[in-house]
């Protein structure tokens, strides 16, 4: 399983430094970013994807609970605060854990391990999916997951490009639903409008993935993770700028 991508948000500089240090010394976590307020962290949500957010609750401008309610469904939270009165608010937004300051590394590690177990179990569930069934042209199509090369989003519809078929399968479905259905160990969202099957990635040229005569753009929001997963570091050596969403 890939390391969990983490965001640390706290209005206390020492707390940000401490928790960021804990993340960096934990092998199954990677520190993607940190922020001194929930307001500042909001801008990061449009640029990067996070699996886990270590989040202070009581912050000026926008509280941690309010910020947590804005996170995508795929992101989980561990609240860190000095106030026990906020525990119920934390679990109301499906927080994985709740840590009281000052946080020891042992307590942090236990919360991080809980997050790892959560994502490992979820990945195991999605990895068991061999087929997806969709409605297309008034018929039900049962598509082997392993044959899906990539998916293109078109507002309320998606086009599913299947290996060996000339025309894509058009079905009424959201990209979010499909992204949550397809196994995350093989599939990755690389653009607001595209999900690709990593098993079919053969050639990448200037932030575009080539599928024969077709190409799929890799946007800024996903570029770093994509090139890390294909073993090319943080970016393509030939790329000057990434495709904008």
Model-level pTM greater than 0.75?
no
Q: DSSP 3-state helix, strand, coil percentages of the chain (rounded to 5)? A: 35, 30, 35
The pLDDT score that the predictor gives to residue 140 is 92
CA-closest candidate to residue 70, choices 39, 36, 47:
39
CB 123 within 8 A of CB 184: yes
Q: Give SS3 for 1.
A: coil
The pLDDT score that the predictor gives to residue 213 is 85
Kindly list the averaged pLDDT for each block of 10 residues, start to end, along the chain of length 245: 91 96 96 94 83 92 89 86 62 75 95 92 69 90 93 93 92 89 87 93 89 90 84 53 46
């Amino acid at each position: 399983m890939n390391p969990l991508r983490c965001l640390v948000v706290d209005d206390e500089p020492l707390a940000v430094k401490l928790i960021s240090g804990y993340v960096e010394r934990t092998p199954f976590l990677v520190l993607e970013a940190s922020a001194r307020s929930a307001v500042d962290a909001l801008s990061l949500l449009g640029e990067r994807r996070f699996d886990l957010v270590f989040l202070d609750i009581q912050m000026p401008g926008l509280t941690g609970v309010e910020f947590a309610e804005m996170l995508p469904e795929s992101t989980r939270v561990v609240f860190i605060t000095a106030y026990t009165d906020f525990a119920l608010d934390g679990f109301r937004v499906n927080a994985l854990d709740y840590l009281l300051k000052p946080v020891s590394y042992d307590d942090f590690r236990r919360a991080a391990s809980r997050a790892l177990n959560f994502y490992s179990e979820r990945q195991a569930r999605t990895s068991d999916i061999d087929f997806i069934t969709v409605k297309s042209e008034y018929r039900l199509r049962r598509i082997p997951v392993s044959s899906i090369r990539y998916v293109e989003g078109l507002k309320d519809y998606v086009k599913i490009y299947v290996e060996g078929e000339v025309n894509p399968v058009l079905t009424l479905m959201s990209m979010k639903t499909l992204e949550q259905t397809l196994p995350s160990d093989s599939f990755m969202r690389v653009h607001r409008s595209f999900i690709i099957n990593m098993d079919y990635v053969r050639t990448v040229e200037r932030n575009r993935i080539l599928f024969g005569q077709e190409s799929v753009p890799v946007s800024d929001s996903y570029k770093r993770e994509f090139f890390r997963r294909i073993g090319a570091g943080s970016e393509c050596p030939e790329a000057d700028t990434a495709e904008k969403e």
